[in-house]
Chains A and B, each alone.
Chain A
């Protein structure tokens, strides 16, 4: 068990980070090269000012008509997205690991706060799941892969929560937690989780076309 732990918390972390950063970089560069070759418009009409203007509206809660029209979804999705990035970075348990490995550390949130936020993430995942099953327009678009992706995202938080509360089998769960986190990181470049990487570009391009060329808002 200790060997497994050492393996997943050692080499596998490296592997997952390399896949995440390397994969994301590869996806970005290969897409940029493809765009240069086949979608010259993207470069020609991309505007920093109008791209950022659009992105800004969309990353501010209730900053767009769409966000305002669906308040519950807006609250859930913003909280969810902030939490899944915020928790892993500012969790005290993770910071201890950083410190042990590389001697670096930074501000962290209290365990209670982390606990609450983890519940929020898990609840959000349940919300997304229910939405997929219940709302016809979402159900229609849903394929198995969407559930898998949701599971990939939910898993690190469920297992982490389990481990923290030292529920039965928490030691095994701890290992599963680490693996789940690594799977999620590694999955980002190669699944629809890539939306995290591509968002600034798709939104920025649409914002540029709408703003710089068509003099209209896209929010």
Chain B
């Protein structure tokens, strides 16, 4: 997570009561699940302030503006709070309580650029579909819009749209190809039977997509140009941050492998291969793979860990220097974290995506057992459990960790922001 404003946060060791959320119960009859800001300074929830009148309560104050309906509370990495709101049936985005000027028949799927400055939603007005970024809608409209995707900096927006009038029930027209990718409102020239996952290059200049060109032929299109090889299936492509080449998992003869720009890239194949990702320097690629049917692991540059899980692997992440990988693994219904091919000893009812410290040395994760949440660093738990907890954040010097949580007894319902020395947990 790129949060270049991390240095501006309060990293003073200590525990701060932000708000006693039990007070909300005295203030409102209707309180939805709370959301904490990345810096932990704020906690917010959708609340009902009157008959069919909703607001968002941030810490101890509701927004002044109220709406008929509010949903999809999301904090950007710059700690601004967005919500999708409706006033008399007109939908828009509210940022820190202030609604955008444009309204629509519906908005959904809020997305942020890495620094949080650019906010994009999908919108529908008069049955026409388009994207809206920072209150500026696309000028072109489409009969549908899906797979909304934004570039890393949030400045460019892509999606999948039908580019011809689709006649209902005309399967032959469909098979000729009716869909294309659209970037900032401008569709590619080519049409395809289907497009799914879209990926921007790191300079935001190019877009790659997984496409189907007939009912049987799958491949990757980059800026509308197809790879010259087809496969029986593909998954989401990615651009290399190093050289701009495109890689994607492809299925050949019933097995999955990684291809680059339409050519074989990894020299071995797997029962499954997906969610590949580049290390920040672009030198390494890791992917979730099934080495054999029903056994899941991580492969780095094509070489799998010897540790495997039976149920699933998900939420893999590279360390900032690209030398380490952590992920979530599940075996026999129990969840844990695995780092560099070794699993933590403890198992949990649920775990969240692990977080590396900026110095690459520590891994922390939010975990849940029997409805109680806590934070674990390198397998060692914080000896305190919470009723609600958010993902931990390491300080820029990696020495401290920010814990954001609502406590149980004796401080029942109190939301605290606490900065701890990492050694308090790891010993």
Contact = CB atoms under 8 A, between A and B. Distances in A.
Contacts of A44: 293-294
Nearest to A41: B293
- Give the dominant DSSP class at A's interface: helix
A212 to B, nearest CB: 14
A40 interface: yes
Interface in A43-75: 44
Interface in B264-302: 293-294
A149 B422 CA distance: 78
B91 to A, nearest CB: 45
Interface residues of B, number: 2
A169 B97 CA distance: 108
A40 B291 CA distance: 13
A40 B294 CA distance: 10
Nearest to B294: A44
Contacts of B293: 40, 44
Nearest to A43: B293
Contacts of B294: 44
Band of interface residues on A: under 10
Nearest to B254: A38
A179 to B, nearest CB: 46
Nearest to B292: A40
A44 B293 CA distance: 8
A40 B293 CA distance: 8
A74 B151 CA distance: 70
Contacts of A40: 293
A155 to B, nearest CB: 45
B197 to A, nearest CB: 27
B185 to A, nearest CB: 47
Interface string B88-126: 000000000000000000000000000000000000000
A146 B293 CA distance: 39
A44 B290 CA distance: 14
A44 B294 CA distance: 9
A44 B295 CA distance: 11
A40 B292 CA distance: 10
B51 to A, nearest CB: 49
A175 to B, nearest CB: 53
B93 to A, nearest CB: 46
A141 B330 CA distance: 49
A174 B158 CA distance: 85
A27 B293 CA distance: 25
Nearest to A40: B293
A44 B271 CA distance: 14
B259 to A, nearest CB: 24
A209 to B, nearest CB: 15
Interface in B292-337: 293-294
Nearest to B271: A40
Interface in A17-44: 40, 44
A177 to B, nearest CB: 50
A122 to B, nearest CB: 49
B232 to A, nearest CB: 16
A141 B375 CA distance: 66
Nearest to A38: B254
A172 B115 CA distance: 97
Interface in A130-150: none
A40 B295 CA distance: 13
Nearest to B293: A40
A135 to B, nearest CB: 41
A46 to B, nearest CB: 13
A96 B278 CA distance: 77
A49 B293 CA distance: 22
A2 to B, nearest CB: 60
B263 to A, nearest CB: 27
A100 B294 CA distance: 56
A211 to B, nearest CB: 19
B309 to A, nearest CB: 16
A86 B293 CA distance: 43
B164 to A, nearest CB: 41
A126 to B, nearest CB: 48
B334 to A, nearest CB: 21
B271 to A, nearest CB: 8
A94 to B, nearest CB: 47
A157 to B, nearest CB: 46
A43 to B, nearest CB: 9
A149 B148 CA distance: 64
3 contacts: A40-B293, A44-B293, A44-B294
List of 3 A-B pairs having minimum Cβ-Cβ separation, nearest first: A40-B293, A44-B293, A44-B294
